[in-house]
Amino acid sequence: MPVPIAAPALGPQSEPVTDAPTASLPRYDVVVVGGGPAGLSAALVLGRARRRVLVVDAGRPRNACSASLHGFLTRDGIDPAELLELARSEVERYGVQIARDEVVRATTEDAPDGVPGPWFRVILADGGPVVARRVVVAAGITDVLPEIDGLPGRWGRDVLHCPYCHGHEVSGQALGVVAGSAEGAVHQALLLRQLSDDVTVVLHDVDADELGDRERALLAARGVTVVPGRVEGVEEQDDRLAGVRLANGSVLPCDALFVSPRFVLDQGPWDELAPQTTQNDLGTFLATDPEGRTSVPGLWAVGNVADLSAQVLGAAELGSRAAIGINGELVLADADAALVGQLA
Domain co-membership, 281 together with 337 = yes
What is the rounded distance in angstroms from the CA atom of residue 124 to the CA atom of residue 296? 20
For the chain, what is the domain count? 2
Measured CA to CA in angstroms, residue 65 lies from 5, 158, 305 at distances of 10, 11, 19
Q: Where does a domain end: 205, 225, 258?
A: 258
Question: What CATH number should be reported for the domain holding residue 209?
Answer: 3.50.50.60
Domain co-membership, 303 together with 205 = no
What is the rounded distance in angstroms from the CA atom of residue 201 to the CA atom of residue 173? 14
Domain co-membership, 54 together with 197 = no
Average pLDDT per 10 consecutive residues for the chain, totaling 344 residues: 39 51 84 98 98 96 89 94 96 98 94 80 94 97 94 94 94 97 95 98 92 95 96 95 95 96 94 96 95 98 96 97 97 89 63
Cβ-contact 5, 141 below 8 angstroms: no
- Closest by alpha carbon to 259, among 185, 208, 344? 185
Domain co-membership, 270 together with 130 = yes
Domain co-membership, 270 together with 167 = no
Domain co-membership, 268 together with 120 = yes
Q: Where does a domain end: 258, 280, 313?
A: 258
Measured CA to CA in angstroms, residue 36 lies from 126, 313, 339 at distances of 20, 11, 38
pLDDT tens across 107-161, in order? Answer: 999 887 767 779 999 999 998 899 999 999 999 999 999 999 999 999 999 999 9
Sorted by sequence, the CB contacts under 8 Å of residue 297 that are 6+ apart come out as 118
Domain co-membership, 211 together with 269 = no
What is the rounded distance in angstroms from the CA atom of residue 338 to the CA atom of residue 116? 10
At residue 19, the pLDDT reads 62
Q: Where does a domain end: 211, 237, 258?
A: 258
At residue 1, the pLDDT reads 37
What is the rounded distance in angstroms from the CA atom of residue 330 to the CA atom of residue 284? 29
Domain co-membership, 179 together with 132 = no
Domain co-membership, 48 together with 108 = yes
Domain co-membership, 18 together with 135 = yes
At residue 10, the pLDDT reads 41
What is the rounded distance in angstroms from the CA atom of residue 240 to the CA atom of residue 237? 5
Enter the pTM of the model: 0.90
At residue 21, the pLDDT reads 63
- Written as one string, the DSSP assignment of 15-50 is PPP----GGGS-EEEEEEE--SHHHHHHHHHHHHTT
Cβ-contact 159, 259 below 8 angstroms: yes
Domain region containing 252: 147-258
Domain co-membership, 131 together with 168 = no
- Closest by alpha carbon to 263, among 318, 304, 295, 206? 304
At residue 64, the pLDDT reads 85
Domain co-membership, 190 together with 127 = no
Does the N-terminal peptide bond of residue 253 adopt cis geometry, omega within 30 degrees of 0? no
